[in-house]
Homo-oligomer: A and B are copies of this chain.
Amino acid sequence: GLFETILVDNQTIYAWPEHYARLSAGLNRLGLPEVAPKDLLARLNAAARCTGGVSVAKILITAGCGPRGYVRSENPALTIRVWANLLPKLNSAPLSVGIAAHPISAMPYLAGLKTLNRLDQVLAANPVRQDIDEQLLTDHQNRVVCATNSNFFWREGEQWFTPPITEGGIEGTRRALWICRLGARQQHAALGRLALAEQAFLCNAVNVYRPIAHLQGRALTEASPPQSAALVAVNGGYQFHETAASFDCLHADADNHLKQNCWSKIRGMNP
């Protein structure tokens, strides 16, 4: 199955076109049927109305029940669950970031998708180390891919970089947006290259800018968001202002909104 983690502030939903585009791509890759965006939006809206504040909504889609073994039923009836939980106020203190002990799996066919196969992330996040806030995950060649629940960006001079999602990791909705806004290059980062980083941050759907103050113990100086991004404070963290849309407006013109996602823009970019 697949999931999405979506930030919702009462009637405002963030980066819906990106979330829906990734989910659709995932269903397609897994050979599962499509889900109408209006159906998901209606469920999201209902879930968000129950919490009534800044909350994280989850969409969870599985292939549903099947026969014994790994074979799915011929016409899988998707199980779709949508719920929302109020989000505690975020802590925006700059992070101390280390490196997880063992590499994540290489899964070229599934790279980028937000599948439920997340044992790597669970293992990387446990046990929590006291001396660091977050860990970067590396692949089998000791190259940085992402953090346990975020994507990773770093700056060398005027150029921003982020690791490509070729064998593992998730094509983050905010990763795509940042690549557009920063003109970031997707390049593999061997651990040693982190020494060149002058600034770095993590991003995910809940907070698009979490500055890194210490990277493998080395202090970074800059901890303010790049100017090129129009960020707005939400619940103690940041969001891209222009990705906010109301459920009503999305419902009214669902197809046009979905075309305005950032994926098509980064497709032509490196690599």
Contacts and interface: CB of A to CB of B under 8 A. Distances in A.
Interface of A: 30-31, 56, 63, 68-72, 85, 102-103, 105-110, 115-128, 140, 148-149
**Copies of this protein chain in the complex:** 2
B110 A70 contact: no
A67 to B, nearest CB: 11
A56 B124 CA distance: 33
A106 B106 contact: yes
B30 A70 contact: no
A117 B105 CA distance: 11
Q: Which applies to chain A's interface (DSSP): helix, strand, loop or mixed?
A: loop
Nearest to A127: B31
8 contacts: A30-B123, A63-B122, A71-B126, A72-B126, A102-B109, A103-B109, A105-B105, A116-B119
B109 A69 contact: no
Nearest to A69: B149
Contact of A108 (B70, B103, B126): B103
B70 A121 contact: yes
A102 B111 CA distance: 13
Which residue among A30, A31, A70, A125 has the maximum number of chain B CB atoms within 10 Å of its CB? A70
